[in-house]
A and B are shown apart, each in its own frame.
Chain A
């Protein structure tokens, strides 16, 4: 069981969020098109290669994790394995306590959101400050991130300016982003210098050399990993890749899929702690977290472990664009969140509702740089959900429907009922327009349609009957 807070999926449109996301999505999609065109890269081939690399890693996960542990240990890192979120948090807390540390800086990590690390640290009296700008804002507001990469995408510049005003007592112009960033930088600089422990996530870990790859655009990860005396890297076991060939390709794929940029702004490669005389942390701890991942291997959802957390499916998803990341109630939002969360938690904490945050339009699978069939997995998870949390009336309805519609006679009977009985009733109620009957208001459960839309009445004579009459 994970210690995180889970909210019921809140499936209401959020217009300001939609507007922000629309701008970001269009900007980044255009960037990717520009880059792939300018560099003559074949996006399809890049995706296929990405899929192969990730598939290889997950197929051979136990061996690669062993190899990673061996190589990282040889390089001087201390490797900890945590089966559950609770274990992982306890491990990190223990590392801090053993060193008497009470001040930590953190770089953005979805895994630490998933396992609820910040709460665990706070309970242990360890102050952990988020140093990614968006994450810092979200943390200071007591809010939660709403996007894998852009945690504060749901907030406006005005909300940020107001926050900074409260923090500093100075007035900020929301349009003056330089001033906003300068404030955050000044505050964070102090924190970096004071921190005894730096906690980061990991984008990829290369098994063959035991190297951790940290990709970023702000420079805060480099400081979190490099300034404090102790660096704790927390990583989901699925982030491992076999070798540098694979890692190199993924490092190209990730920024293209994420931001439409040809290369990450900054990459840190961490192989062990600082050597004698070098600057850098004296200790490197690598916490490998399973938390349900191993159990997904060999299931329908194995390929969800291929995810490289680029956020492409979020921008592609028309439902995410409407409701924003908080609707998913968990660390992972968008289509990948609607798959990963119920798959990892086996439908607990209301997560079986998440696969319904999709119209199954397939845009997510099309956008995914490692070709995860997210739409198929969403359908499969709906079936898992129907088994785990039965909705009796709905199940009875579909069973009756299947009995009738698996026989031509049963189908014709329902069609006739719809045509002969429903249609005239419908027409009586309906406002007739252009010779067709449309209904404006209908009782529950039809009101779920007619609250926002007029409904088309069944045709008085269906196609089957017309064909029989004319050609039968």
Chain B
């Protein structure tokens, strides 16, 4: 199957390994991966900060990059998928041509776990968590993937297929971690307190690592865990899906 990688700006700039592992996984599952080089960002930072005109300019670039390509547009980041699917129709509401384009592109845009599980029908894809025994890991539901895209089961399904770790139940795993994009900078004290609640619950459940699909949440949680000197690792889900178990 021909698919297009929507790598997202945070993955591109901060964690390019996540992008490379996404490509490797998709190829391992038999997909032919294209990467439209004209892609930049979905526009969410400006959209969520109250600058819809600036968001629209960047969103138009996204449409330009992907509109003429073929196949599903797959991203290792639920929040950006939610932006394209949910916010674009409103962003382009006053321009029928762009709105139609946004709707067509939005329909093709999907988060990685949902694509693998629902479209490829692969409920597990293997993977190995390094180290002895079974490391207890907590899953952090990315808000926009969980509530926005209604994709709660696919990432858990993939995580359950990983050897060398076991999923522990944490209290209120649906609660936001406090990243929230510009929110993390606007209200840093509240944002950090929310991270602490998340980290403490993971620790209380005995987890040694937190797994999620949002590079923003991961950077926020890992940054806070490091600052507190916690013995808690933080991983993108796709990092665990490598067959040879290197992180």
Contacts and interface: CB of A to CB of B under 8 A. Distances in A.
Nearest to A387: B50
B90 interface: yes
B104 interface: no
Contacts of A383: 50-52
B50 A361 contact: no
A18 B175 CA distance: 14
B143 A363 contact: yes
B193 A13 contact: yes
A418 interface: yes
B191 interface: yes
Contacts of A445: 185
B58 A356 contact: no
Given A386-B51, A453-B195, A454-B226, A415 B13 contact: yes
Given A398-B51, A398-B54, A411 B41 contact: yes
Given A12-B189, A458-B14, A463-B12, A406 B19 contact: no
Contacts of B144: 362
Contacts of A384: 50
A37 interface: no
A363 B227 contact: no
B123 interface: no
A449 B184 contact: yes
A118 to B, nearest CB: 30
A386 B50 contact: yes
A453 B37 contact: no
Contact of B227 (A385, A454, A463): A454
Interface stretch (A76-84, A186-194, A266-274, A464-472): A464-472
B52 to A, nearest CB: 5
Contact of A406 (B49, B60, B190, B194): B60
B179 to A, nearest CB: 7
Interface in B181-202: 181, 183-195, 197
Interface string A8-42: 00011100001000000000000000000000000
A458 B12 CA distance: 9
A2 interface: no
Contact of B190 (A322, A418, A453, A462): A322
A376 interface: yes
A319 to B, nearest CB: 6
Contact of B35 (A419, A456, A467): A467
Contacts of B179: 359
Contact of B192 (A379, A452, A462): A452
Interface in B24-64: 35, 37-41, 45-55, 57-58, 60-61
B11 interface: yes
A75 to B, nearest CB: 44
Contacts of A440: 227
A207 interface: no
Nearest to B192: A452
Nearest to B59: A406
Main secondary structure of the interface of B (DSSP, over half): helix
A418 B48 contact: no
Contacts of B188: 448-449, 451-452
B180 interface: yes
Contact of A12 (B49, B53, B178, B190): B190
A175 interface: no
* Interface size class, chain A: 35 or more
Contacts of B118: none
A450 to B, nearest CB: 8
Contacts of A90: none
A98 interface: no
A99 interface: no
A357 B187 CA distance: 8
Contacts of A456: 14-15, 219, 222-223
Nearest to A12: B189
A459 B48 CA distance: 25
A117 to B, nearest CB: 32
Nearest to A356: B186
B13 A408 contact: no
A448 B184 CA distance: 8
B14 A459 contact: yes
28 contacts: A318-B175, A359-B176, A359-B180, A359-B194, A379-B87, A398-B51, A398-B54, A399-B51, A401-B58, A406-B60, A406-B61, A408-B61, A415-B13, A433-B226, A438-B223, A449-B184, A452-B191, A453-B195, A455-B223, A456-B15, A456-B223, A459-B13, A461-B16, A463-B12, A463-B20, A464-B37, A466-B20, A468-B37
Interface of B: 7, 9, 11-16, 19-20, 35, 37-41, 45-55, 57-58, 60-61, 65, 87, 90, 143-144, 147-148, 174-176, 178-181, 183-195, 197, 219-220, 222-224, 226-227
- 5 residue pairs, one from A and one from B, having the closest CB atoms: A359-B180, A453-B223, A382-B50, A361-B176, A402-B54
Interface of A: 11-13, 18, 318-319, 322-323, 356-363, 365-366, 376, 379, 382-386, 394-395, 398-399, 401-403, 405-408, 411, 415, 418-419, 433, 438, 440, 445, 448-449, 451-456, 458-459, 461-464, 466-468, 471-472
Given A18-B193, A379-B50, A401-B45, 20 more contacts: A11-B189, A318-B176, A318-B194, A322-B197, A356-B187, A359-B191, A362-B143, A386-B50, A411-B9, A419-B13, A440-B227, A452-B191, A453-B195, A453-B220, A453-B227, A454-B227, A456-B14, A459-B13, A462-B13, A463-B7
